[in-house]
Amino acid sequence: MAYDPYISEDQIDDPRLYLVGLPELLSRSDFVTLHVPPTAETRGMVDAEFIARIKPGAKLINTAFGGLIDESAAAAALKNGHLSGVALDVYAEEPPYRLAAHRAGIGAAYAACRREYDRSDAGLVDPDRASGDGRAARQRLP
């Protein structure tokens, strides 16, 4: 199941994949992953209202670009239990302490990105300090 406002069913060549509207995708998915470019339309697209429409207990994953997710809203959704996990490889601001400090928050520091140009200016994060409080960061989804 996927959502893309710019393609139609006849453009999909995999019979296992089908398009749905965004509300259906968010309400039915156990994992919501972002695969969008950084544009005026996509910056901040995952705000508190968007997150509230995600199926309770789902996990939110962003390896696309920083700034797509309102990280404060994602941290609040982790804290109140609406999301069971958030995994980010990219952030609106560095360092990403708000989410990394939560037990269900994962920060990969650009490691999940496969495009060489995205790694060119990536910094390294000491895993023992990634949580922001000296605790070792978790490296997998709970």
First-last CA distance in the chain: 23
Number of structural domains the chain divides into: 1
Q: What is the mean pLDDT of residues 86-109?
A: 65
pLDDT at position 66: 87
Query: pTM for the whole thing?
Result: 0.68
In the structure encoding, which two tokens stand for residue 3, read together? 């959502």
For the stretch 126-140, pLDDT in tens is 444 444 444 554 444
Report if residue 2 sits inside a domain: no
- 136: how many CB neighbours lie within 10 A of its CB? 11
Of 91, 19, 77, the residue nearest 49 (C-alpha)? 77
- 38: how many CB neighbours lie within 10 A of its CB? 13
pLDDT range class, residue 91, cuts 50, 70, 90: confident
What Å distances lie between residue 26 and 12, 17, 20, 106, CA to CA? 20, 16, 10, 21
For the stretch 16-56, pLDDT in tens is 999 999 999 999 999 999 999 889 999 999 999 999 999 99
Report if residue 9 sits inside a domain: no
Q: Read off the DSSP letter of residue 123.
A: P
Query: Which residue's structure tokens are 């207990």?
Result: 57
pLDDT range class, residue 98, cuts 50, 70, 90: low
Write out the residue range of the structural domain in which residue 65 sits: 29-112
Question: Which residues on neighbouring strands pair with residue 106, listed in sequence order?
Answer: 87
Where is pLDDT greater, at 72 or 139? 72
Report if residue 126 sits inside a domain: no
For the stretch 54-67, pLDDT in tens is 999 999 999 888 89
CATH number of the structural domain spanning residue 100: 3.40.50.720
- pLDDT of 115 above 70: no
Report if residue 10 sits inside a domain: no
d(CA 21, CA 97): 33
